[in-house]
Amino acid sequence: ERIKSTEDGRARKIQLTPYGENQIMPRIFKAREEADQVLTSNLSTSEKDDFIKLILKITNSLKSKSTLDLS
């Protein structure tokens, strides 16, 4: 469900419908967990932690549309 801006009528916020929240989101979360398990199954604990930190940095960077900081 889109919530439109009163200023220009463009969608500014997307709100999940009950169906999306109850049916779609659990599938997305399950797929993400399965992908994480596959990607990290052969890594040591420290490598897995580093990988997860990198993924979080990339995700946060994309969310904020800022430059990617891999330090």
> Confidence band (pLDDT; 50, 70, 90) for 12?
low
Residue % of the chain over a pLDDT of 70: 69
Residue 19 has pLDDT above 70, yes or no: yes
Over residues 17-25, mean pLDDT: 82
Q: Which residues contact 67 (CB under 8 A, 6 or more apart)?
A: 61
Residue 58 has pLDDT above 60, yes or no: yes
The pTM is what? Answer: 0.43
Residue 41 has pLDDT above 80, yes or no: yes
Chain centroid offset of residue 3 CA: 21
